[in-house]
Structure 1
Amino acid sequence: MLEARAARSTKKMNVRSPSMVNLEALFTDIDDFYQKFVPEWQAILLKLNKKQRNKPSSLAMSEVMTILILFQHKQK
């Protein structure tokens, strides 16, 4: 189920297009994905009895992913 959402989100963003200059739209798509993904991921970890650190960070996961995607995009 999560893989399907990721695939739909990637198709919607069209990450490979050379005209990807709208940073706000990219971040919004990634943030929307993580708003749905993180609670489901945490629920799965609880079911599997996996313990994970919950140390707060200075950047949200969606911010980190936006930076990584832009970095990868600029390398091409």
Structure 2
Amino acid sequence: MHHRIRNGVPSRDLGPLGWSKPWSDDAGGACVEAKRLGDGRVALRQSTDPDGPALVFTSREMTTFLAGVKAGDADFLI
């Protein structure tokens, strides 16, 4: 199944278990949910659309993204 997991895959295809909500907003409960996949990749989905598409990132992509956020590279977004 791992070869069929790609960006935009319907979240329901990744199963209902293992999703967590490490980030959420203060306005209405819209959260980003994350799930570590069996091959080490990370899937992200919108909590208000649990059957919608998931973005899938490699471990290296997530590490690079999080390091950039911590360094302030995404501060322009807020």
Q: Shared fold by TM > 0.5?
A: no
Higher strand share: 2
Higher helix share: 1
